Amino acid sequence: MCHAWPAQPVCDACVGAFAQPLPRCQTCALEVPPGVRQCGACLVAPPPLDACLAAVPYAYPWSTLVADFKFRQHPGWAASFALVLRSTPWVEPALERADALLPMPLSKERLRERGYNQAHELACALDASKARTGVLLRIQDTPPQRPLPRAERLRSVQNAFAVDPLQAEQLRNRHVVLVDDVMTSGASLHAAARTLRGAGVATITAIVLARTA
């Protein structure tokens, strides 16, 4: 935004202008009024996540940056985004407590098409020593979630994930952080969280760079 590119994709001045912390629901990361811990939807139907943390809204200018990071071959931007995430309230404690960081996996078809998994790049930039790939698997190639109505999103990812049976014991009674770039309805993160619950994971925190309204 300040035209400092290509020195760095996100500078301190732009973070200060566009990444100020917002009060968010502690279990779905939607914006809430100050002093409110959980939104009404999460109180009525608690999600399968113990906590959900988001750094920025999926809006100008972040939506453009995320799209470039994801679709225009800029995996190196993960380091800058990780700094934004680490500056978000409660993210550092969640990372310190975590036994493993699990990036949301792509299907083989999507990974072959894109060449890299942006969630994996973020997880490694956050803490490479805790990032684990190949533990949480995507076993179904589902359509892009954003254009779909909520009911279709939920159906499309219902059986999309699995835990590698040879590595499942590593997750039992562990504290896990799910990492993704964008959260929309939460359908994919919730489906992955239910799969992890079935594997005996103790606590699950989702950390996402951007959250839609």
pLDDT tens digits for range 154-201: 566 878 999 999 999 999 999 999 999 999 999 999 999 999 999 999
Q: What is the DSSP letter of 180?
A: E
Residue 106 included in any domain: yes
Closest CA to 180 of 72, 67, 104: 104
**Distance separating alpha carbons of residues 20 and 31, to the nearest angstrom:** 13
Whole-number pLDDT of residue 141: 77
| Res. 150 pLDDT band, cuts 50 70 90 | low
CATH code where residue 155 lies: 3.40.50
Closest CA to 123 of 140, 107, 104, 108: 104
Residue 137 included in any domain: yes
Closest CA to 82 of 19, 127, 149: 127
Residue 27 included in any domain: no
Closest CA to 58 of 185, 156, 175, 198: 185
Residue 39 included in any domain: no
Q: Is 54 helix (H, G, I), strand (E, B) or coil?
A: strand
- Over residues 17-25, mean pLDDT: 93
Instruction: Identify the domain containing residue 169 by its residue range.
Output: 48-142+149-211
Residue 125 included in any domain: yes
User: Full-prediction pTM beyond 0.85?
Assistant: yes
Helix axes 78-86, 118-127, angle to 10 degrees: 60
Residue 34 included in any domain: no
How many helices (DSSP H) and strands (DSSP E) are in the chain?
Answer: 9, 6
- Over residues 126-154, mean pLDDT: 79
Angle at the Cα of 201 (from 198 to 202), degrees rounded to 5? 125
Residue 26 included in any domain: no
Task: Decide if 27 contacts 52 (C-beta within 8 A).
Answer: yes
The encoded tokens of residue 71 equal 């679709």
* Cα–chain center distance at 93: 16
Residue 38 included in any domain: no
Tell me how many domains the chain contains: 1
